[in-house]
Each structure stands twice: as structure tokens, then as C-alpha cells.
Structure 1
């Protein structure tokens, strides 16, 4: 079950994308793939949803696919919001991965911290009302990076 705008990506064991497709319609998604041209090895299919990434690993040997486990891996994406001069960052953290937050103001780092320890990581940052302009927050966790640009 997918929504329009979500993406399906297939990556090899080195993290290189071998297939990427944006979902065009919401509803049930079904697609047949021909893996006969792929090298033998481990691959992952990643469905990038609004708040999570669902990952299913499989092994290709001579064009035949074997799924490595029956359970999908889920990575919860961080949520980054702004409300006036407040920056709110949160992430569900069931796998106990630290969350690195870096805040830039006019392309210069003004804050960098790593959050860890809880099942729900969350921070609220109050930005100076005097520092009006372009901001960018970069959040890293689970070997992935997310960013958001905003102005106050």
C-alpha cells in the first residue's frame, strides 16, 4: 500500500542505486522485476514513505531472488518542523542510533550536537529573533542524512 510521491529504490550491497522510481498513484503497488542482468549478491528494496523507510533485503543468484528474512526492517525518519523562531526536531529511536543535529545560519555552523539514549529523541531550539535570514538544519542517523532549509 503506497501513496503518490513515495519512492521505491533498489540498492546493491555497496549502497549504489540500481533502480529508483517515484510512485505515481496511491493504492496497491505491484511490479514485476527482471533481475537476470544483476550480478549475484545482496540487494535491498527500500520504500521511502512520509515518516519511515521500509527495507526488505534479498539475494540474487543467477537471476533468481531469495528473500533473506520474513520481517521488514523499518527506519523511522526524523521530523523537522519550524514554528516562528522555534526549530523542533524529533525521531522515534527503537534501534538506539544517535541523532546528530547541525544548524547553519548563513552557511556557518551555529550549533552541533548529538542526541542519544531515549526511544524518542526530541529537541526544541529557540532561535534568536535578531538573527533573521536563511537557516539550514542537517540531521543524521542510521547512516542517512536529512535536511531542511527555512527562513525566520
Structure 2
């Protein structure tokens, strides 16, 4: 079991270092005549999703990326009502968020931030969870067996990497679900033992 955990941690650390390297200088935003905006993302993959959300988190535009590489899109945001919005690029292990404000038909962008998604892996009867947490946000974890909560906890750590390993009973065969809440978002993984 210790070997499995060590291998898992090595993979997570390598993945997180790669994510951090790609997160730096990830987005270019060019405002065209104050109304149209060209958004460019480097190192995207097919299947990533670009969305525009209002201040309540309601998706008002969404598009799945069709080609890997550099992604560029011109959006006319001037028709949006006055208020605060975000563009979000959802990648494999992170979400790149670029907040912007629309005022009198003019668009202005704020500083980009990145939220790292939790990584949930299962191996036999082990549930392995890790998440980069530079923002020190707590991680609420709930494990369900046949739609009933069998374990829950809130992980709050002063370190930048939150990690947990849970050992489930080998005798309790069936459907399991892990639900993680962090940064006002939910992440779900279904699995069987």
C-alpha cells in the first residue's frame, strides 16, 4: 500500500508542476474597439470548454474546444447588460478564470486567476484525493455508498497541497460516489467496488 501511495504522489506532483507551468501567462485578451474582445489561450486540448458566466454563475455562452494547440475567439460582449462576468477555460486539472466588467457597452478585464481541480483516483478499495490549494480554500469531501453518506469531512490545511487516502471495505461491493466541494464548485466521481 505504501508503494501505491508513493507512486500516486509522484504522479500528482508531476501533474501539478506541469499545470503550474502551463498556468503562467496562459491567456491573452485584446479589446477591439472597446466592444469586441479577442481571447487567446495557449496549450488547450480538444475537449476543454470555454464559457462566459454572469455574476450568479449562469452560463450565457459555452463552446467545446475542437482542436489542440492555441485557441483564439472573438466575442462581442458589448450586448451584455451592465455588470460583472467571467470567461472560464475548463481544462483537465484547472480552470482559468478571467473576470470582466461591462459598463456602457465597454468591456474591461481584471486579473486572471486559476483554480486547480481536485484529482480523484480509485484503486481497488482505495480512494485517493489531492488538490493544489494556493488560495487555502477548504475541501469538503463526502463519500457515498448506494446513495447514503458513509463518510464526510472538511479538509483545511495551511499547506499548498491537500491530500487524503481513504480505505473502503472490500466486503461492501456496489456503487460509490465521491463529491468534493471547493471554491464554490462541485466535483463528482462515481465508481464501483
CA RMSD in angstroms comes to 0.9
- 1:135 is aligned, of 172, 176, 184, to 176
Distance 2:125 2:49 in 1: 32
Tell me, in whole angstroms, the C-alpha distance in 1 between the residues paired with 2:82 and 2:117: 30
1:144 aligns with 2:188: no
What TM-score does the superposition give when structure 1 sets the normalisation length? 0.95
Which residue of structure 2 aligns with residue 110 of structure 1? Answer: 150
1:25 counterpart (63, 67, 80): 67
The Cα shift of 1:146 comes to: 0.1
Partner of 1:11: 53
Structure 2 SS opposite 1:129? coil
Give the C-alpha shift of residue 63 in structure 1: 2.6
Deviations 1:110-136 (A, max 9, x none): 001011113111110111000011000
Q: Deviation at 1:16?
A: 1.3
What is the alpha-carbon distance in structure 1 between the residues aligned to residue 78 and residue 116 of structure 2?
A: 32
3-state DSSP of counterpart to 1:29: strand
* Mapping of residues 90-129 of structure 1, within 5 Å: 90-117=130-157, 118-129=159-170
Alignment partners' CA distance in 1, 2:118 and 2:189: 11
Cross-structure match for 1:49:
91
Deviations 1:54-104 (A, max 9, x none): 1011111233211123xx201010000001110001111110001010000
5+ residue gaps, structure 2, are 1-41
Give the aligned length.
150
Please give the TM-score of this superposition, normalised by the length of structure 2.
0.76
